[in-house]
Structure 1
Amino acid sequence: MESTFATRPRSATKARLSPPQRTSLGPAAFSRLLLPLLLDKPLPSSSSLAARGSLIFTGATASRKGSSKFGAFAVGKFGLSALAQSLAREFGPEGIHVAHVVLDGVLGKDSESRINPDSIASSFVYLHNQDRTAFTFELDLRPASERF
């Protein structure tokens, strides 16, 4: 079913956006399949050891605020953030680390105004290896030059 959100709600345009639910339905389905596998893993006895596993969702600034002409994108990203938050609250006590990473910027290695993919990977590994007594839920990654 096509979304009823128009790119310019007050105009007569018939342009429609793709369903915002697509942004969170894929991660929800993936989580539904992965979580039973993670729950079957034994929980390490020491809290300083890694958790049973991690689910790290990638969001955008639209996870927190909507922008003009990006309403459907914001709905999807808000939904993804809410999914991550709900899963973190439900499965964190079971030793599964759920995090939401906000990426805001263009990816690339050729400029300090771009987010280096190697730096993103390092941040994801950091999240995955966190002590269970101090899980990070949300991490915001952006180049130093990015305005926010």
Structure 2
Amino acid sequence: MKYMLMVLGKQADYDAMSGKASSGSPAWSEADLKAMFDHMSALNDDLAESGEWVDGQGLTEPRQARLVTAGADGAPVISDGPYGEAKEVLAGYWIVDVPDFARAAEIAARAYACPLPEGAPHYPVVVQPVDTTSGTET
């Protein structure tokens, strides 16, 4: 069964990773970044080796996201976003193909255990089954 494991974040977290601290988001050092990248790389490598990896990506900072709707003529209407009301946004994800939710939860717990600088926010990893009833899964 396929699951999407989602890592959350805020713009302040991305700013902190580039060395700019803010309230509740201490600046990350190069060692902090290396520890995070090493942890995630090891997880990705293990998932690929076990055959559970389907896809996974880190996303750019939220300030680069855009909201798209459609005008009356169907043409895209693009605006800056997401807006400040968003508590957290999707920062990265994995799609895994595993036997059951328990295995997906084990992987999510390992992702959650990623080292962070002291005082940095620690968000839960969202685990959601991929809908295979629509016939559009890959």
Return the TM-score normalized by structure 2.
0.31
Return the TM-score normalized by structure 1.
0.29
**Which is helix-richer, 1 or 2?**
1
**Which is strand-richer, 1 or 2?**
2
